[in-house]
Chain A
Amino acid sequence: MTVTAPAPNAPTRATSDTLLDFANVEMTFPDGTIALQGVDLVVKRGEFVTVVGPSGCGKSTLLRIASGLETASDGTVALGTDRIGYVFQDATLLPWRNVTANVELLAELHGESKKDRAAKAKDAIDLVGLKGFEKHLPKALSGGMKMRASLARSLTLDPELFLFDEPFGALDEITRERLNDELIRLFNAKQFAGLFITHSVSEAVYMSTKVVVMSGRPGKIVETFDVPFPQPRDPEIRFTPEYAALVGEVAHALRKGHGHS
């Protein structure tokens, strides 16, 4: 797909079903580091795409370009929506606001009325299971609950495209698996498209409809896998041979791309 825009690398509108379209995207930092090279990536409605790669392979840069926080040095980036949710590595809650006030923040920044944002925040808080913790300050919450609040905050935007930058990377295994399940449930309930960055292969295969494997320096896409398991995911698939086989394949591709280092 060729989209010609005034600036070759500024995000433009994609066609209705394609929410994100990267074509031959390059990213070179001022110091000469090539973070991304020739990246083609499409995220369509109904897809949950996970990008796995070693740390420093440019997978976070990919998200930052998609969100508009950074501008690609070359190639075209097309977006199919302006309702984009972004969940950071940290929960990034404002420590002086309680859960409700934090979840209301984005609607507040968009100038919505008190009544509207209170209603949105209430729905989002219920949705992520933080009911009863509305008045708590972030410091009184566990890491997992902070991420839930962060998730709720993004949900108030009712995003069509949801970008996740290793959101559960700092959490313990049990909390992480639980939040993965809840995220899949949200994905099925709210019908957003997801682009999820992680370095965990099993997390990638378990959650997504498509797994993209990247290699580092320069960041390139090595291989793409379609995940055939039906949505919503049954947690039990983690114990099937098919799942194990796919995890093996992805891990192998990751290892190959990584140059066995």
Chain B
Amino acid sequence: MTTISNEKTVTDGTDELQAHPTPGLAVTATVAKPKGRKRRRTTWLPPLVVFLVIVAVWYLISLFVLNPNLRFLLPLPQDIVMKGFIDPLSFNALIVALWQTVIVSMLGLAIAIVIGVVWAIAMSQAKWIERSLFPYAVILQCIPILALVPLIGFWFGYEFQSRVLVCVMIALFPMVNNTLFGLQSVDKGHRELFTLQGASRFTTLSKLSFPAALPAIFAGMRISAGLAVVGAIVGDQFFRRGTPGLGILISNYSSRLQGEQLFATIITAALFGVLVFWLFGLLGRRTVGKWYDFS
């Protein structure tokens, strides 16, 4: 086999090559470092300032605007921490409810991911399947969950599985829609490359369409994960039997006017939602970030 001159290749486009070790790289790195730190500070500083302003306004309202016997409407932050989080009774209830919400939402999310991906793959196989099935994905998205609550209760009871079902229904559409979009946005040239080699439907799916759709699938997962948390809280409000989740705790505290505990629970739910969103973003970056700019 004849080897084509290597000499020319190395000069060809080497300057554009990012991962190529050059002696100058170390210098660039040291110069770049403070720049990076500065940029990091500019990303966390503004939100921190806003946070401090919010807390200040909070104190103002709580201390000077609210009548002391109406203070449960906006309890003092230190009371929320002490009575809502640290108090052993509140803390235990919070942990149990959080764990229940974690299980309900993550199980609902997992089911939504599986159904959503399978559904989208089925639709990507033929235009007629897409035309037959896509309207139902839209309808599912459009039905107010509230309207279905009595029916879900009749069919699946008023505890765990109904809460999971609510999560699935809320989280499903972004999975279906994103996966389908990803599968359909495969580059035409790539498709033809596979066609020319006589690749089967399954091979094309597993080696081309599915990997190409992964960034869209992860984007969908991140949206669905946030929605699944919402679904678990909402499901709690309707299906109240069995171990309480954060949603049940919220409605209990609000009916007992326990403002400190109510705020602690709401903050916990919010933090869990943020954590889930962040985790799935991280998962996406870890999986496809090497070749796709997943932000």
- Residues on A lying within 8 angstroms of B by beta carbon are 67-69, 84, 86, 88-90, 92, 94-96, 105-106, 108-110, 123, 126-131, 136-145, 148, 175, 178, 182, 185-186, 189
Chief secondary structure at chain B's binding surface: helix
Contact B13 A143 (CB under 8 A): yes
Of B3, B12, B207, the residue contacting A178 (CB under 8 A) is B12
B203 within 8 A of A: yes
The list of the 7 closest CB pairs from A to B, nearest first, reads: A142-B13, A129-B9, A142-B16, A189-B2, A92-B189, A109-B197, A95-B291
Give 23 pairs: A residue, B residue, CB < 8 Å, sorted on A.
A86-B196, A92-B190, A92-B192, A94-B190, A105-B207, A109-B198, A109-B203, A109-B207, A110-B197, A129-B6, A129-B9, A130-B9, A136-B17, A136-B19, A142-B12, A144-B12, A148-B9, A175-B13, A178-B12, A182-B4, A185-B2, A186-B4, A189-B2
For residue A110, which residues in chain B have a CB less than 8 angstroms away from its CB? Answer: 197
Q: Which of B181-203 contact A (CB under 8 A)?
A: 187, 189-190, 192-199, 203
Binary flags per residue of B8-24, CB closer than 8 Å to A gives 1, else 0: 11001111111100000
Q: Separation in Å of the A197 CB from the closest CB of chain B?
A: 15
Query: Known contacts being A109-B197, A127-B2, A129-B8, is A139 close to B189, with CB within 8 Å?
Result: no
Please give me the residue from chain A that is nearest to B293 by CB atom.
A139
Of A96, A141, A178, the residue contacting B288 (CB under 8 A) is A96
Contact A69 B197 (CB under 8 A): no
In the bound complex, what is the Cα–Cα distance between A189 and B5 (angstroms)?
13
Number of interface residues, chain B, beta carbon within 8 A: 37
In the bound complex, what is the Cα–Cα distance between A185 and B211 (angstroms)?
35
Q: Separation in Å of the B190 CB from the closest CB of chain A?
A: 6
Contact B12 A175 (CB under 8 A): yes
For residue A136, which residues in chain B have a CB less than 8 angstroms away from its CB? Answer: 17, 19
Q: Separation in Å of the B207 CB from the closest CB of chain A?
A: 7
In the bound complex, what is the Cα–Cα distance between A189 and B4 (angstroms)?
10
Contact B291 A139 (CB under 8 A): yes
6 more contacts with CB within 8 A, not counting A96-B292, A185-B4, are: A88-B193, A143-B16, A144-B12, A144-B13, A175-B13, A182-B4
Q: Separation in Å of the A145 CB from the closest CB of chain B?
A: 5
Contact A94 B211 (CB under 8 A): yes
B142 within 8 A of A: no
In the bound complex, what is the Cα–Cα distance between A127 and B207 (angstroms)?
26
In the bound complex, what is the Cα–Cα distance between A69 and B194 (angstroms)?
11
In the bound complex, what is the Cα–Cα distance between A129 and B195 (angstroms)?
28
Q: Separation in Å of the B215 CB from the closest CB of chain A?
A: 10
For residue B208, which residues in chain A have a CB less than 8 angstroms away from its CB? Answer: 94
Please give me the residue from chain B that is nearest to A143 by CB atom.
B13
Please give me the residue from chain A that is nearest to B200 by CB atom.
A109
Q: Which of B138-196 contact A (CB under 8 A)?
A: 187, 189-190, 192-196
Please give me the residue from chain B that is nearest to A188 by CB atom.
B2
